[in-house]
Structure 1
Amino acid sequence: MFIDDHPIYCDGLAFALRHWMPNLKLVTVVNGAQALAVLQGCDVDLVLSDYRLPDDDGISVLSRIAARHPSVALGVLCSDVTPLLAQKAQRIGAVACLSKERDMASMAEVLGRLFSGETVFDAVPLCATRNGISEHRLTIIRLAADGQSNKEIARVLGISERTVKDHWSIVFERLGVVNRIQAIRQAQKQGLIEST
């Protein structure tokens, strides 16, 4: 099953995959509610969901599917695959986080691997790509991205402003930047924090 609210992409993907995988039985739906309704009366082995859906995000939809249908394999198929998204998918037990940029031969090959019980992540989950930046320092970057000053960050975290500045020095070095704005942009670009 593919969950995607872009019918042209979904129809094109379904048509192309039937060429590469003629025995594949494919169901397409446009949102999470429809997916859950279809799963009540349909035997599905794998559900791949876009991340941005009209009724919710794909991770939340897949979490609801997992709670009601624990034997169904789950994955994300979207345009913007990042380490943060891969980590979210991994946390809910997903077996895949795939990019829509794959060509059909590659997609068919990956689906075959998933049906064989493998896991496939086009982006390495966040825990493996932090550039040595601790969760504590990522929190500082997130707070700065929300517009908080060093003084406000220090108050929120219960540390001194000097300690916040020391953390920034390490963040700048590890991200190869020279100021907070660059650090925030670089962290977002690398998928270390969510884009605002």
Structure 2
Amino acid sequence: MPDKDPSPIRILVVDDHPVLREGVTSILEDHADMIVVGEARDGAEAITQFRALKPDVTLMDLQMPVMNGLEAIMAIRADFPDARILVLTTYAGDVQAVRALKAGATGYLLKSSIRTEMLDAIQNVYRGRRHVHGDVAAEIALHIVDDSLSEREVAVLRLVAIGKANKEIARAMSLSEETVKAHLKSIFAKLEVADRTHAVTVAARRGIIEL
């Protein structure tokens, strides 16, 4: 008798955009070795669906309402340490990618590469291998030896991003203006930028802050 076909990889798709969920499902419908067993619109739904379905691989967006993907990854992995989660996002920032991988994601894929790379990424993650999109991996390698911004520097930068002046930042954080200026000088050096606008742009691109 011929060998029985192996069971398809059972996949949970988590994204707040129905068009993205439909697109992923449409691609996977053509592959008998994979099947979408459930969908979720946010991190809270993802946790509920994961507990009910126990999927082999979860495709997880990061920016979602109610509960974001990072929080969902940590919650799922806390209860299911062997959960295989592949981040599927538009954000190529190295800091955000490292944050997701440290939270327990097994892979990190950009939505722009769904049609060219998603199937291989799912297979790799299912087999317990890491899969990180090439551009993201290059960014991680580029910045791996950089000094990280401190929590206070990130807090200062978030206030800069919403247009706060040094005096307003000092008041909001109970600091002196001189201390705020010192933090900004350190931020500029670490991000290799010369001004506030460029600092915000680079920090957002790398996933250090969200705009």
Tell me which moved more, 171-180 or 83-92: 171-180
Q: TM-score, normalised by structure 2?
A: 0.71
Give the match for residue 165 of structure 1.
Answer: 181
Structure 1 pair 2/146, CA: closer, same or farther in 2 (3 Å)? same
Gaps of 5+ in 1: none
Structure 1 pair 154/14, CA: closer, same or farther in 2 (3 Å)? same
Task: Give the deviation of 1:191 after TM superposition.
Answer: 2.4
Task: Give the deviation of 1:181 after TM superposition.
Answer: 2.9
Aligned pairs, number:
193
Give the match for residue 183 of structure 1.
Answer: 199
Whether the 8 Å CA contact 1:79–1:101 is kept in 2: the answer is yes
Tell me, yes or no, if structure 1 residue 193 matches structure 2 residue 209: yes
- For 1:134 and 1:37, locate their aligned partners in 2 and report how far apart those are by CA, in whole Å: 35
Task: Give the deviation of 1:108 after TM superposition.
Answer: 0.8
Give the match for residue 160 of structure 2.
Answer: 144
Give the match for residue 27 of structure 1.
Answer: 37
Give the match for residue 84 of structure 2.
Answer: 73
Gaps of 5+ in 2: 1-11
The Cα RMSD (Å) is: 3.2
- For 1:34 and 1:134, locate their aligned partners in 2 and report how far apart those are by CA, in whole Å: 33
Query: 2:63 aligns to what SS in structure 1?
Result: coil
Match of 1:106 among 117, 124, 129: 117
Query: 1:48 aligns to what SS in structure 2?
Result: strand
Matched letter for residue 143 of structure 2:
T
Percent of aligned positions that are identical:
27
User: Deviations for 1:137-174, whole angstroms, at most 9, x for unmatched residues?
Assistant: 4444334335554456567476x644543553454355
Structure 1 pair 147/102, CA: closer, same or farther in 2 (3 Å)? same
Structure 1 pair 103/50, CA: closer, same or farther in 2 (3 Å)? closer
Q: How does 1:8-23 map to 2 (within 5 A)?
A: 8-19=19-30, 21-23=31-33
Whether the 8 Å CA contact 1:5–1:53 is kept in 2: the answer is yes
Q: TM-score, normalised by structure 1?
A: 0.75
